[in-house]
Structure 1
Amino acid sequence: PATMTIMVEDIMKLLCSLSGERKMKAAVKHSGKGALVTGAVAFVGGLVGGPPGLAVGGAVGGLLGAWMTSGQFKPIPQILMELPPAEQQKLFKEAMAIIRHLEWTDAVQLTALVMGSEALQQQLLAMLVNYVTKELRAEIQYDD
Protein backbone atom coordinates (compact mmCIF):
# COMPACT_ATOMS: atom_id res chain seq x y z
CA PRO A 1 0.00 0.00 0.00
CA ALA A 2 1.10 3.56 -0.68
CA THR A 3 2.54 5.55 2.19
CA MET A 4 0.45 8.29 3.78
CA THR A 5 2.41 11.16 2.15
CA ILE A 6 2.09 9.64 -1.29
CA MET A 7 -1.64 9.07 -0.72
CA VAL A 8 -2.10 12.72 0.32
CA GLU A 9 -0.20 13.81 -2.81
CA ASP A 10 -2.38 11.53 -4.97
CA ILE A 11 -5.54 13.03 -3.50
CA MET A 12 -4.22 16.58 -3.98
CA LYS A 13 -3.38 15.78 -7.62
CA LEU A 14 -6.85 14.31 -8.09
CA LEU A 15 -8.53 17.41 -6.62
CA CYS A 16 -6.31 19.62 -8.79
CA SER A 17 -7.32 17.65 -11.91
CA LEU A 18 -11.01 17.85 -11.01
CA SER A 19 -11.04 21.56 -10.18
CA GLY A 20 -8.73 22.31 -13.11
CA GLU A 21 -11.04 20.55 -15.55
CA ARG A 22 -13.97 22.61 -14.22
CA LYS A 23 -11.78 25.77 -14.46
CA MET A 24 -12.58 26.58 -10.84
CA LYS A 25 -10.99 29.66 -9.30
CA ALA A 26 -11.27 31.19 -5.85
CA ALA A 27 -10.63 34.60 -4.38
CA VAL A 28 -8.96 34.19 -1.03
CA LYS A 29 -6.25 36.64 -0.10
CA HIS A 30 -7.95 39.97 -0.66
CA SER A 31 -11.42 39.24 0.72
CA GLY A 32 -10.39 40.55 4.16
CA LYS A 33 -9.10 43.75 2.59
CA GLY A 34 -12.47 44.28 0.87
CA ALA A 35 -14.29 43.92 4.21
CA LEU A 36 -11.89 46.39 5.85
CA VAL A 37 -12.50 48.95 3.11
CA THR A 38 -16.27 48.49 3.39
CA GLY A 39 -16.13 49.01 7.16
CA ALA A 40 -13.75 51.96 6.99
CA VAL A 41 -15.75 53.83 4.35
CA ALA A 42 -19.02 53.17 6.24
CA PHE A 43 -17.40 54.47 9.43
CA VAL A 44 -16.18 57.67 7.75
CA GLY A 45 -19.61 58.11 6.14
CA GLY A 46 -21.20 57.80 9.59
CA LEU A 47 -18.82 60.39 11.09
CA VAL A 48 -19.45 62.86 8.28
CA GLY A 49 -23.16 62.40 7.67
CA GLY A 50 -24.66 60.63 10.67
CA PRO A 51 -27.03 57.68 10.00
CA PRO A 52 -27.71 58.61 6.34
CA GLY A 53 -23.95 59.01 5.84
CA LEU A 54 -23.43 55.58 7.35
CA ALA A 55 -25.82 54.05 4.80
CA VAL A 56 -24.17 55.85 1.88
CA GLY A 57 -20.70 55.02 3.24
CA GLY A 58 -21.66 51.36 3.59
CA ALA A 59 -22.94 51.20 0.02
CA VAL A 60 -19.91 53.01 -1.43
CA GLY A 61 -17.54 50.99 0.75
CA GLY A 62 -19.20 47.75 -0.32
CA LEU A 63 -18.80 48.64 -3.98
CA LEU A 64 -15.21 49.72 -3.42
CA GLY A 65 -14.49 46.56 -1.43
CA ALA A 66 -16.07 44.38 -4.12
CA TRP A 67 -14.10 46.19 -6.82
CA MET A 68 -10.84 45.72 -4.87
CA THR A 69 -11.38 41.97 -4.46
CA SER A 70 -12.62 41.32 -8.00
CA GLY A 71 -10.09 39.91 -10.39
CA GLN A 72 -8.05 38.47 -7.53
CA PHE A 73 -9.06 34.92 -8.40
CA LYS A 74 -6.48 32.17 -8.42
CA PRO A 75 -6.99 28.75 -9.98
CA ILE A 76 -8.06 26.27 -7.29
CA PRO A 77 -5.33 23.76 -8.27
CA GLN A 78 -2.76 26.46 -7.45
CA ILE A 79 -4.45 27.24 -4.11
CA LEU A 80 -4.54 23.51 -3.23
CA MET A 81 -0.85 23.04 -3.94
CA GLU A 82 -0.02 26.07 -1.77
CA LEU A 83 -1.97 24.76 1.22
CA PRO A 84 0.07 23.94 4.33
CA PRO A 85 0.42 20.18 5.09
CA ALA A 86 -2.14 20.34 7.92
CA GLU A 87 -4.79 21.73 5.54
CA GLN A 88 -3.88 19.17 2.86
CA GLN A 89 -4.34 16.50 5.54
CA LYS A 90 -7.86 17.84 6.30
CA LEU A 91 -8.80 17.73 2.63
CA PHE A 92 -7.27 14.27 2.31
CA LYS A 93 -9.46 12.94 5.14
CA GLU A 94 -12.61 14.42 3.63
CA ALA A 95 -11.77 13.06 0.17
CA MET A 96 -10.90 9.62 1.58
CA ALA A 97 -14.36 9.43 3.17
CA ILE A 98 -15.77 9.70 -0.37
CA ILE A 99 -13.35 7.41 -2.24
CA ARG A 100 -12.38 4.91 0.48
CA HIS A 101 -13.88 2.01 -1.52
CA LEU A 102 -11.55 2.63 -4.49
CA GLU A 103 -8.24 0.85 -4.89
CA TRP A 104 -5.47 2.68 -6.67
CA THR A 105 -1.70 2.58 -7.01
CA ASP A 106 -0.97 6.15 -8.15
CA ALA A 107 -2.54 9.53 -8.87
CA VAL A 108 -3.02 8.67 -12.56
CA GLN A 109 -5.02 5.54 -11.77
CA LEU A 110 -7.00 7.29 -9.03
CA THR A 111 -7.85 10.19 -11.34
CA ALA A 112 -8.94 7.77 -14.08
CA LEU A 113 -11.21 5.91 -11.63
CA VAL A 114 -12.84 9.14 -10.42
CA MET A 115 -13.14 10.67 -13.90
CA GLY A 116 -15.05 7.54 -14.90
CA SER A 117 -17.70 8.23 -12.28
CA GLU A 118 -19.88 11.32 -12.51
CA ALA A 119 -21.24 10.62 -9.00
CA LEU A 120 -17.75 10.56 -7.45
CA GLN A 121 -16.78 13.73 -9.32
CA GLN A 122 -19.88 15.51 -8.00
CA GLN A 123 -19.24 14.36 -4.41
CA LEU A 124 -15.58 15.38 -4.50
CA LEU A 125 -16.36 18.74 -6.10
CA ALA A 126 -19.08 19.43 -3.52
CA MET A 127 -16.62 18.57 -0.73
CA LEU A 128 -13.98 20.81 -2.34
CA VAL A 129 -16.38 23.75 -2.79
CA ASN A 130 -17.50 23.36 0.82
CA TYR A 131 -13.88 23.28 2.02
CA VAL A 132 -12.82 26.31 0.00
CA THR A 133 -15.82 28.42 1.03
CA LYS A 134 -15.89 27.40 4.72
CA GLU A 135 -12.24 26.76 5.65
CA LEU A 136 -10.56 29.29 3.34
CA ARG A 137 -13.52 31.71 3.38
CA ALA A 138 -13.08 32.12 -0.35
CA GLU A 139 -15.47 32.89 -3.13
CA ILE A 140 -15.55 30.41 -6.01
CA GLN A 141 -15.89 31.26 -9.68
CA TYR A 142 -16.17 28.98 -12.71
CA ASP A 143 -14.77 30.10 -16.05
CA ASP A 144 -16.80 28.92 -18.99
Structure 2
Amino acid sequence: MPVWSPSPVLADIMKLLCSVCDEGKIKAAVRHSRRGALVTGAVAFVGGLVGGPPGIALGGAVGGLLGAWMTSGQFEPIPQILMELPPAEQQKLFDKAIAIVRHLDWTDLEQLTTLVMGSESLKQKLVTMLVNYVTKELGAKIQYHD
Protein backbone atom coordinates (compact mmCIF):
# COMPACT_ATOMS: atom_id res chain seq x y z
CA MET A 1 0.00 0.00 0.00
CA PRO A 2 1.55 3.35 -1.01
CA VAL A 3 2.24 5.96 1.65
CA TRP A 4 -0.03 8.99 1.33
CA SER A 5 1.72 12.30 0.89
CA PRO A 6 -0.23 15.53 0.69
CA SER A 7 0.01 17.78 -2.33
CA PRO A 8 2.24 20.82 -1.83
CA VAL A 9 -0.79 23.15 -1.87
CA LEU A 10 -2.68 21.05 0.70
CA ALA A 11 0.43 20.98 2.90
CA ASP A 12 0.74 24.78 2.57
CA ILE A 13 -2.90 25.28 3.60
CA MET A 14 -2.47 22.96 6.60
CA LYS A 15 0.63 24.95 7.66
CA LEU A 16 -1.35 28.19 7.26
CA LEU A 17 -4.12 26.82 9.48
CA CYS A 18 -1.51 25.83 12.05
CA SER A 19 -0.07 29.37 11.97
CA VAL A 20 -3.51 30.90 12.48
CA CYS A 21 -4.14 28.61 15.47
CA ASP A 22 -0.70 29.23 16.94
CA GLU A 23 -1.32 32.97 16.90
CA GLY A 24 -4.68 32.55 18.65
CA LYS A 25 -3.22 29.96 21.05
CA ILE A 26 -6.22 27.70 20.55
CA LYS A 27 -6.21 24.23 22.07
CA ALA A 28 -8.72 21.40 21.93
CA ALA A 29 -9.48 18.23 23.83
CA VAL A 30 -10.55 15.62 21.30
CA ARG A 31 -9.80 12.16 22.54
CA HIS A 32 -10.41 12.90 26.18
CA SER A 33 -13.67 14.81 25.73
CA ARG A 34 -15.29 11.65 24.37
CA ARG A 35 -14.03 9.67 27.35
CA GLY A 36 -15.43 12.29 29.72
CA ALA A 37 -18.82 12.14 27.98
CA LEU A 38 -18.85 8.34 28.22
CA VAL A 39 -18.06 8.46 31.96
CA THR A 40 -20.83 11.00 32.52
CA GLY A 41 -23.36 8.84 30.69
CA ALA A 42 -22.24 5.64 32.38
CA VAL A 43 -22.45 7.08 35.89
CA ALA A 44 -25.90 8.57 35.14
CA PHE A 45 -27.05 5.16 33.83
CA VAL A 46 -25.81 3.33 36.92
CA GLY A 47 -27.40 5.99 39.11
CA GLY A 48 -30.69 5.40 37.31
CA LEU A 49 -30.47 1.65 37.83
CA VAL A 50 -29.73 2.05 41.52
CA GLY A 51 -31.88 5.03 42.45
CA GLY A 52 -34.44 5.51 39.71
CA PRO A 53 -35.12 9.06 38.47
CA PRO A 54 -33.37 10.75 41.43
CA GLY A 55 -30.41 8.41 40.83
CA ILE A 56 -30.19 9.58 37.21
CA ALA A 57 -30.00 13.19 38.37
CA LEU A 58 -27.40 12.44 41.03
CA GLY A 59 -25.45 10.13 38.72
CA GLY A 60 -25.47 12.75 35.97
CA ALA A 61 -24.14 15.40 38.34
CA VAL A 62 -21.44 13.14 39.78
CA GLY A 63 -20.59 11.76 36.33
CA GLY A 64 -20.36 15.27 34.91
CA LEU A 65 -17.94 16.31 37.62
CA LEU A 66 -15.91 13.15 37.14
CA GLY A 67 -15.89 13.60 33.36
CA ALA A 68 -14.81 17.23 33.69
CA TRP A 69 -12.03 16.24 36.08
CA MET A 70 -10.85 13.52 33.67
CA THR A 71 -10.58 15.94 30.74
CA SER A 72 -9.02 18.86 32.59
CA GLY A 73 -5.47 19.57 31.52
CA GLN A 74 -5.78 17.21 28.55
CA PHE A 75 -5.90 19.86 25.82
CA GLU A 76 -3.60 19.65 22.81
CA PRO A 77 -2.64 22.47 20.47
CA ILE A 78 -4.87 22.43 17.39
CA PRO A 79 -1.86 22.41 15.02
CA GLN A 80 -0.86 19.06 16.52
CA ILE A 81 -4.39 17.74 16.05
CA LEU A 82 -4.51 19.02 12.45
CA MET A 83 -1.25 17.37 11.47
CA GLU A 84 -2.44 14.04 12.93
CA LEU A 85 -5.69 14.05 10.96
CA PRO A 86 -6.20 11.32 8.37
CA PRO A 87 -5.81 12.40 4.73
CA ALA A 88 -9.58 12.52 4.09
CA GLU A 89 -10.10 14.90 7.03
CA GLN A 90 -7.19 17.09 5.93
CA GLN A 91 -8.80 17.25 2.49
CA LYS A 92 -12.10 18.42 4.05
CA LEU A 93 -10.28 21.19 5.90
CA PHE A 94 -8.35 22.10 2.77
CA ASP A 95 -11.58 22.48 0.80
CA LYS A 96 -13.11 24.72 3.48
CA ALA A 97 -9.96 26.86 3.78
CA ILE A 98 -9.56 27.25 0.01
CA ALA A 99 -13.12 28.56 -0.16
CA ILE A 100 -12.04 31.34 2.23
CA VAL A 101 -8.69 32.27 0.60
CA ARG A 102 -9.63 31.52 -3.01
CA HIS A 103 -9.70 35.20 -3.98
CA LEU A 104 -6.11 35.83 -2.82
CA ASP A 105 -3.24 35.91 -5.30
CA TRP A 106 -0.37 33.92 -3.79
CA THR A 107 2.53 31.85 -5.06
CA ASP A 108 3.99 30.28 -1.91
CA LEU A 109 3.23 29.61 1.74
CA GLU A 110 5.15 32.65 2.98
CA GLN A 111 3.17 35.02 0.76
CA LEU A 112 -0.15 33.38 1.67
CA THR A 113 0.65 33.53 5.39
CA THR A 114 1.60 37.21 5.10
CA LEU A 115 -1.65 38.01 3.31
CA VAL A 116 -3.80 36.14 5.81
CA MET A 117 -2.01 37.34 8.95
CA GLY A 118 -2.33 40.91 7.70
CA SER A 119 -6.10 40.63 7.53
CA GLU A 120 -8.08 40.30 10.77
CA SER A 121 -11.14 39.38 8.71
CA LEU A 122 -9.43 36.45 6.97
CA LYS A 123 -7.86 35.23 10.21
CA GLN A 124 -11.22 35.34 11.94
CA LYS A 125 -12.93 33.46 9.10
CA LEU A 126 -10.28 30.73 9.21
CA VAL A 127 -10.40 30.47 13.02
CA THR A 128 -14.20 30.27 12.95
CA MET A 129 -14.06 27.57 10.28
CA LEU A 130 -11.48 25.60 12.31
CA VAL A 131 -13.38 25.90 15.59
CA ASN A 132 -16.59 24.77 13.89
CA TYR A 133 -14.80 21.84 12.27
CA VAL A 134 -13.02 20.72 15.44
CA THR A 135 -16.13 20.97 17.62
CA LYS A 136 -18.64 19.48 15.16
CA GLU A 137 -16.58 16.96 13.22
CA LEU A 138 -14.18 15.85 15.96
CA GLY A 139 -16.41 16.42 18.99
CA ALA A 140 -13.71 18.47 20.73
CA LYS A 141 -13.85 21.09 23.41
CA ILE A 142 -12.01 24.33 22.63
CA GLN A 143 -9.81 26.30 25.01
CA TYR A 144 -8.33 29.75 24.30
CA HIS A 145 -5.19 31.05 26.01
CA ASP A 146 -4.04 34.65 26.24
TM class, shorter-length: over 0.9
The letter of the residue matching 1:88 is Q
- From 4, 26, 29, the equivalent of 1:27 is 29
Residue 93 of structure 2 corresponds to residue 91 of structure 1: yes
Q: CA offsets, 1:36-81, max 9 Å, x none?
A: 1112211222222222122111110111011111211000011111
Q: Matches of residues 95-110 of structure 1 in structure 2 within 5 Å? A: 95-110=97-112
Partner of 1:74: 76
- From 124, 131, 134, the equivalent of 1:132 is 134
- From 14, 17, 39, the equivalent of 2:16 is 14
Structure 2 residue ranges without an equivalent (≥5): 1-5
Local SS of the residue matching 1:101: coil
Asked whether the 8 Å contact 2:34–2:139 carries over to 1, the reply is no
Asked whether the 8 Å contact 2:27–2:77 carries over to 1, the reply is yes
Cα drift, residue 19 of structure 1:
0.3
Cα drift, residue 12 of structure 1:
0.5
Structure 1 residue ranges without an equivalent (≥5): none
In 1, Cα distance between equivalents of 2:118 and 2:35: 41
Give the ranges of 4+ consecutive aligned residues of structure 1 lying more than 4 Å apart after TM superposition: none
Partner of 2:52: 50
In 2, Cα distance between equivalents of 1:95 and 1:105: 16
Local SS of the residue matching 1:30: helix
TM-score by length of 1: 0.93
Partner of 2:63: 61
TM-score by length of 2: 0.92
Query: How many pairs does the alignment contain?
Result: 141
